[in-house]
Amino acid sequence: MSSVRWSIVVSDDVDKALRAYLGRRGTKKGDLSQFVEEAVQARLFELTVQDVKQRNGEYSQDEILDAIDKDLVSE
């Protein structure tokens, strides 16, 4: 997997809190990057779920489950 270098800016409070947390866990090289990557992935997933829920908000749960069942049967 290739990597891309980011330059990001965070508040001093966030920086200190995160570095203290990682320090308590025995920080090793790459831990900060791994933490940020996992946080971004989690947030993207959260936002995607919100988008899907909003898009499907006009349908009842029964309609959604019926559509899923129909697609599963047709495969």
Length of the chain as a residue count: 75
52's tokens: 């899907």
3-state secondary structure the chain: CCCCCCCCCCCHHHHHHHHHHHHHCCCCCCHHHHHHHHHHHHHHHHHHHHHHHHHCCCCCHHHHHHHHHHHHHHC
Q: Cα separation of 66 and 75, whole Å?
A: 15
**pLDDT per residue over 4-60, tens digit each?**
999 999 999 999 999 999 999 998 988 999 999 999 999 999 999 999 999 999 999
Give the pLDDT confidence score for residue 75 in this predicted structure. 60
Give the pLDDT confidence score for residue 24 in this predicted structure. 94
Give the pLDDT confidence score for residue 56 in this predicted structure. 92
Give the pLDDT confidence score for residue 73 in this predicted structure. 84
Reported pTM: 0.74
